Structure 1
Amino acid sequence: MPFELADFGGTFLTSAPVRDGDHVSPGINAYVQWFIPVGRRPMSLLLVHGGGGQGSDFIRTPDGRPGWVHSFLRAGYATYVIDRPGHGRSHWNNRALGPTAPAADYDALYSRFIEPEKERLWSDAVAHNRWPADPLAGDRFMAGQGPMADSLASSQRHVEAIAEQLFRMTGPTIIVSHSMGAPCGWALSALGGENVAAVVAAEPFGYPGMVHPLGVFDNGLVSTSYQGHHDPFARPIAVVTGEATWMREANARAAEFLRARAPVFEHIRLERHGITGNGHMLMSESNSDEIAGLMVRWLDLNIPS
């Protein structure tokens, strides 16, 4: 179904420049792109990408189909897509952001994201069959991978630094996060308070006590204290998990934590809704439209109009 845009564009959110002796460089910044449909809903929607990815992950799939942005626009949401600090169009600046983790390579990501059914590093991987058939899809996915912070705490602090400007732009919004973007989403929720109507965490990274080379989850679903003073979980929340991902146990532990805290909570296991064969990159796989449609229906049921 086509949609008509009233506006689209993008801008950088910035913080104070960093001074190092006589050298002045940009501070923490993020790029935000927006798409405003005609007849928009009063609530907007913010897409927060994961790990070494970028906001373009949500705009088109690696085989060229319309991405989740299109699905949310068709549903009437003004949609904002962030390149988190140091990702995508917000280039990495060591003076402001600190050091990076080692870059992920084909060996690391193909076995978990693209073709886990071949390596079978976990039992459910055998069910994976939703990566796009286009032979260039994997290369396009890898082309979008870049550096990320060398700690979860740093990633959280980076996004907290631009949160005030971000919420002035989005107004009341729904956060849809993916993977390592989930801790940033919880941090944004703690800062946004009533501005955040709901959170949908797709394949969220982390659970209480999880130990990872980039940090330990010592503060529930994040690794460090929140800069915000609002309860990040005091709103409807959904966790979305694929049938064939390695995240199933981790997502179940996160869901147990959230179920006791959110006023409305659902752990959406896609196969229980007839959506099968999905790995970790839900927005990139061949049935991405079905997944987005399920999210829209969940939001319609659980957020007051």
Structure 2
Amino acid sequence: MQSKKAKFTLLILGISLALNFPGFAQKKPIVIVDQGSFTVGGTVKTSPGTFDPIKHGAFSPGNQPTEGQTLHGDHAYVFYQIPEKAKKLPLVFWHGYGQFSKTWETTPDGRDGFQNIFLKKDYSVYLIDQPRRGRAGRSTVPVTIPANTDDQLWFGIFRLGVGNEFYPGVQFPKDPESLDQYFRQITPDTGPIDFNANTSAVSALFEKIGEGILVTHSHSGGQGWLTALKTDRIKGIVAYEPGSNFVFPEGSVPELIPYVGGTLRALGVPMAEFKKLTQIPIIIYYGDYIPTEPVENPAQEQWRAALQMAKRWAKIVNENGGDVTLVHLPEIGIKGNTHFPFSDLNNLEVAQLMEDWLKEKGLDK
């Protein structure tokens, strides 16, 4: 923990920023008593032979000898901040596909993201880069990283609009600078996606820090359920737009859901394992522009299938004594949200929904 002098220095720094940078003028200073970073999980790969520091000691890109050497990889990277009057349960934020911890930081147009919003609400925050992504890029398995021109593909899949045209009323800033920032937070995998490596690393994180609340997005949603099967230290899950890997009891796995461009399948686990998901409160949020009937656009279709599967999943968890709430934002009058509700223009309203749920479930102490 930092001393009072250190806290005072951070506060003065915040005031200095506010005075010298107009964009910071309306922001409330945050007093942080501790922050840092570490890695969790991972493996060590060892090559046979004997390392010779003379023969093998010269660095040669692309032709490096490996005899007798090790590689530490497949870990998660975690950055954390603890505010002055921290609540008991921290928030652990896990990004989606093609993203890293930047997802939760400053929004593309420079507003507070969920990292700062919830620090100001006195929650400690832990931001994850999952194995083989972002600052956890050291992989033990090689992969070829493509350089495809695919911005418009993601523009559609992330439901900003179609092609280069925004949806009417979309809660996303339409200026070129914000869109440029948005595209630049996409990052590649540096190795094959490995659910076991990912969930083991996040489980190890909770074993290290203790009880907390897991906040997932998209690709990490299904991995969040799987992580909760590995540790009892997750006391609640907030899932933004989970897209796959919904976990059902064996024998009750629903039929796959076909959609234009693919099919969505669920996973089956023994009932004893599934029951772990009924012992914690869970809430799921989906944004706007998700069709209720099949359409020709595959970027929209995959979310129709995801929402349909999420409804089936919530039903079976609740039928087995669980506590899952599914919120489709436009159905409660919150309209225009993309696949990233937590960084959209109305993210303060979205954050308030989450905070209200945390209070309702007694997770805000």
TM-score interval, smaller chain: 0.7 to 0.9
| Structure 1 residues 45 and 103, CA gap change in structure 2 (3 angstroms) | farther
Report if aligned partners of 2:287, 2:341 keep a CA contact under 8 Å in 1: yes
- TM-score (structure 2 length as normaliser): 0.71
Tell me the CA shift for residue 83 of structure 1: 0.4
Aligned to 2:311: 255
Partner Cα separation in structure 1 for residue 257 and residue 130 of structure 2: 23
Moved over 6 A (4+): 211-216
Instruction: Look up the SS of the partner of 2:317 in the other structure.
Output: coil
Report if aligned partners of 1:47, 1:79 keep a CA contact under 8 Å in 2: yes
Taking only the aligned residue pairs, the percentage that are identical comes to 25
Report if aligned partners of 1:46, 1:79 keep a CA contact under 8 Å in 2: yes
Q: Is 1:217 aligned to residue 265 of structure 2? A: yes
Q: Is 1:19 aligned to residue 46 of structure 2? A: yes
Give CA deviations for 1:39-59 in whole Å, capped at 9, x if unaligned: 111111111100010011101
Tell me the CA shift for residue 160 of structure 1: 2.5
Partner Cα separation in structure 1 for residue 147 and residue 341 of structure 2: 22
Q: Please say which of residues 3-12 and 101-110 is displaced more in the overlay.
A: 101-110
Give CA deviations for 1:168-226 in whole Å, capped at 9, x if unaligned: 33311111100001122112111122x11111110111255357999963415xxx99x
Aligned to 2:357: 298
Q: Please say which of residues 162-171 and 62-71 is displaced more in the overlay.
A: 162-171
Q: Is 1:142 aligned to residue 183 of structure 2? A: yes
Report if aligned partners of 1:174, 1:197 keep a CA contact under 8 Å in 2: yes
Q: Is 1:133 aligned to residue 169 of structure 2? A: no
Aligned to 1:287: 346
Aligned to 1:235: 280
The Cα RMSD (Å) is 3.0
Instruction: Look up the SS of the partner of 1:110 in the other structure.
Output: helix
**Structure 1 unaligned blocks of 5 or more:** none
Partner Cα separation in structure 2 for residue 231 and residue 256 of structure 1: 18
Q: Out of 112, 125, 147, which is 1:79 matched to?
A: 125
The letter of the residue matching 1:177 is T
Q: Out of 127, 134, 139, which is 1:88 matched to?
A: 134
Tell me the CA shift for residue 70 of structure 1: 1.4
Tell me the CA shift for residue 274 of structure 1: 3.0
The equivalences for 1:30-45 within 5 A come to 30-45=76-91
Tell me the CA shift for residue 269 of structure 1: 1.5
The equivalences for 1:50-69 within 5 A come to 50-69=96-115
Q: Is 1:187 aligned to residue 226 of structure 2? A: yes
**What is the total number of aligned residue pairs between the two structures?**
291
Tell me the CA shift for residue 253 of structure 1: 2.0
Q: Is 1:6 aligned to residue 52 of structure 2? A: no
Q: Is 1:205 aligned to residue 243 of structure 2? A: yes
| Structure 1 residues 2 and 275, CA gap change in structure 2 (3 angstroms) | farther
| Structure 1 residues 248 and 300, CA gap change in structure 2 (3 angstroms) | farther
Tell me the CA shift for residue 255 of structure 1: 2.6
Q: Is 1:268 aligned to residue 327 of structure 2? A: yes
The letter of the residue matching 1:217 is R
Instruction: Look up the SS of the partner of 1:3 in the other structure.
Output: coil
The equivalences for 1:116-131 within 5 A come to 116=161, 126-127=167-168, 129-131=170-172
Partner Cα separation in structure 1 for residue 163 and residue 143 of structure 2: 34
Partner Cα separation in structure 1 for residue 91 and residue 141 of structure 2: 26
Partner Cα separation in structure 2 for residue 259 and residue 296 of structure 1: 23
Instruction: Look up the SS of the partner of 2:36 in the other structure.
Output: strand
Give CA deviations for 1:225-270 in whole Å, capped at 9, x if unaligned: 9xx8972343111110112243244223213212321422211111
| Structure 1 residues 60 and 299, CA gap change in structure 2 (3 angstroms) | same
**Structure 2 unaligned blocks of 5 or more:** 1-27, 49-66, 247-253, 291-299
Partner Cα separation in structure 2 for residue 103 and residue 185 of structure 1: 29
Partner Cα separation in structure 1 for residue 326 and residue 266 of structure 2: 22
Report if aligned partners of 1:233, 1:261 keep a CA contact under 8 Å in 2: yes
| Structure 1 residues 286 and 102, CA gap change in structure 2 (3 angstroms) | same
Structure (1 or 2) with the larger CA radius of gyration: 2
Instruction: Look up the SS of the partner of 1:192 in the other structure.
Output: coil
Instruction: Look up the SS of the partner of 1:15 in the other structure.
Output: strand
Report if aligned partners of 2:105, 2:113 keep a CA contact under 8 Å in 1: yes
